[in-house]
Amino acid sequence: MGKKRKKMEYKDFNFKIPQQSEDYDECSGFVIKSIETIVSDAIRSGNNKIMINTNLKLGLPMENINKIAGPLVEAWAHETFHDVLEDKANKFRLINVEAKPRLYMADVILQFERQRAKVGQSGITAEIDVKATSEDIEDSGKSPNITSYARIRTAYVEDPDYIFLILSLKHKVYSKKNAKTSVASPK
108 within 8 A of 81, measured Cβ to Cβ? yes
Does the global pTM surpass 0.85?
no
pLDDT at 144: 54
CA angle 32, 69, 45 (to 5 degrees): 55
- Taking the chain (187 residues) in runs of 10, the rounded mean pLDDT of each run is 75 83 92 97 92 77 76 93 94 95 92 76 90 69 62 88 91 72 61
Which amino acid would we find at residue 59?
A: G
Element (H, E) at 134: strand 123-134
pLDDT at 187: 55
